């Protein structure tokens, strides 16, 4: 059951991050879920290093996944477009 919740929350976080980074038109729902889940892992790894932690709740995972997804999309933008925006 937790896996399904992680998919849904990861998809929401990836979708919100793609809207914020203006990549929503080039991504589908599957890529949004993948970006959100990878962003969750990335955010869960990086945020405690700088002293930020949002807890183990669903909202905490959503915030962590969103921040990680934005970081991931910035990295993707650097490689695909040559600059972060």
Question: Tell me: the pLDDT tens digits for 10-60?
Answer: 888 888 888 888 776 666 778 877 888 888 788 777 777 776 666 667 777
* 37: CB partners within 8 A, 6+ apart: 6, 7, 10, 14, 65
* 13: CB partners within 8 A, 6+ apart: 36, 39, 40, 62, 65, 66, 68, 69
Of 40, 69, 42, 64, the closest CA to residue 54 belongs to 64
Which pLDDT score is estimated for 26? 65
What DSSP character marks residue 65? H
Looking up tokens 């650097």, which residue turns up? Answer: 78
Which pLDDT score is estimated for 65? 82
């Amino acid at each position: 059951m937790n896996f399904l919740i992680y998919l849904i929350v990861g998809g929401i976080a990836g979708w919100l991050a793609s809207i914020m980074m203006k990549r929503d038109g080039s991504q589908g729902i599957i890529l949004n879920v993948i970006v959100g889940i990878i962003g969750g892992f990335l955010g869960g790894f990086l945020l405690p290093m700088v002293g930020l932690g949002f807890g183990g709740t669903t909202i905490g995972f959503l915030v962590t996944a969103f921040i990680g997804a934005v970081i991931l999309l910035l990295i993707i933008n650097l490689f695909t477009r040559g600059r972060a925006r």
